[in-house]
Amino acid sequence: MLEELAEWAQENVHVIYRYLVAAAVIAASYYAGRQLSKPIYRARAEVKPEVLHNIARLVRLAAILIGIAVALSIIGIDLGGLLLAAGFTGLVIGLAAQQTLSNLFAGLTLIFEDRIRVGDSVRIGSDWGMVESVGIMSTKIRLWSGEVLTVPNSVVMSSPLYNFSRSVARRAEVSIGISYTSDIGKAVEVIRSVLWENELVLAEPEPTVIVDSLGESSVNLKVLFWLPAQEFWTVRREVVADLKRALESSGIEIPYPQRVVWIKSSVTSGSGSS
């Protein structure tokens, strides 16, 4: 048995050598891909993390594919026929996986156009949250309620996307109803004083107070003012609370919903007895 094996090895030494070299080439290509990707990861301070991660993965994959191609050539496999078969297979897969390819190209577009980044506060459709990752196929958003929403990149590309982290300032709108017996001019003055006293309310554009509508129970005022984007929700909550306290202390009534009901009664007078 050993003699037969040794004889076979002597007869096929060149074949064995080729396979060993091919295996070494594949191993070397894998190692080279890992080494080439390391400097990319070290550049995190200059480029977005999600871009670096995906570029590093592509570099490793390209190095391995090149190694496999070289290995196949070493062991004598004709790459021309293989490439033809791969092209036909790619066409079939492309037709069968249109949605997957759509997500892939949408992910590459999102990454290289720099539309969103990890940590951005965004709204996609009716979903609000913070971006946790931007991948090749999908984007993960942690909603303000705590859940992690995974959105296919094709959906991200085709939906209205609001990125609040890219704005330096955002406009806040607060609606306040005051009673019909309250002085509108005094209410406007009190509201303006509250806005001017808050250091985080921007002076430009200037805060605006308008009489928006006449409701069933109140005269509705709309307060428009600008805040730093990073402090938007915190400062808005503070301003709303300050407005309520200031209006109440100034004698401006913020009424409950109410309705005046008039009851019409009919009086029937009977004829006197004869």
Parse the chain into domains and list their residue ranges: 13-84, 116-165, 169-249
CA atoms within 13 A on the CB side of 1: 0
Tell me the pLDDT band of 191, cut-offs 50, 70 and 90: very high
Instruction: Report the pLDDT averaged over residues 205-210.
Output: 93
How high is the pLDDT of residue 43?
A: 47
How high is the pLDDT of residue 94?
A: 57
Q: Selecting from 3.30.1370.100, 3.40.366.10, 3.30.70.100, 3.55.10.10, what CATH number does the domain 169-249 have?
A: 3.30.70.100
Peptide bond into 207 cis (omega under 30): no
pLDDT exceeds 80 at position 225: yes
Is 116-165's fold the same as 169-249's? no
- Convert the pLDDT of each residue in 8-24 to its tens digit: 666 666 667 777 777 88
Tell me the pLDDT band of 193, cut-offs 50, 70 and 90: very high
Instruction: Report the pLDDT averaged over residues 236-260.
Output: 89
Q: For the whole model, what pTM was predicted?
A: 0.53
pLDDT exceeds 60 at position 271: no
Q: Selecting from 3.40.50.12500, 3.40.30.10, 3.55.40.20, 2.30.30.60, what CATH number does the domain 116-165 have?
A: 2.30.30.60
pLDDT exceeds 60 at position 208: yes
Task: Calculate the CA dihedral of residues 150, 154, 159, 160 and round it to 10 degrees.
Answer: 90
How high is the pLDDT of residue 45?
A: 39
How high is the pLDDT of residue 22?
A: 75
Token readout for 171 is 């406009």
